[in-house]
Homo-oligomer: A and B are copies of this chain.
Amino acid sequence: MLEMATLLAQATVDSGFGTLGVGIGMGLAIVGAGLGIGRIGGSAVEAISRQPEASGTIATQMLISAALIEGATVIALILLLIR
């Protein structure tokens, strides 16, 4: 009976560390997405101010590269959730 209790207790402690890892992982994922999309968006608006007539092309390329980061971030969030 004593062994059974000890076993269950340690299994629950482990689950807490798992959620700690999920939280750190999701947080770091958003830090990466923020740094990346922030760099792209910031440079895009500066580029438009330098060449306003190229704003269509700049906006398209900005969206493509930002969507790449966004896609990887959402995949990471979902994988962390089902973990």
Contacts and interface: CB of A to CB of B under 8 A. Distances in A.
Copies in the complex: 3
A32 B47 CA distance: 23
Consensus secondary structure, chain A interface:
helix
Interface residues of A, number: 80
Contact of A23 (B30, B39, B59, B83): B83
A26 B66 contact: no
Interface in A27-64: 27-55, 57-64
Contact of A66 (B16, B23, B68): B68
Given A23-B24, A31-B32, 20 more contacts: A2-B2, A3-B5, A12-B13, A12-B15, A18-B19, A20-B21, A21-B21, A24-B28, A26-B79, A27-B32, A30-B33, A32-B33, A34-B69, A36-B38, A40-B45, A41-B64, A41-B66, A48-B51, A50-B50, A74-B75
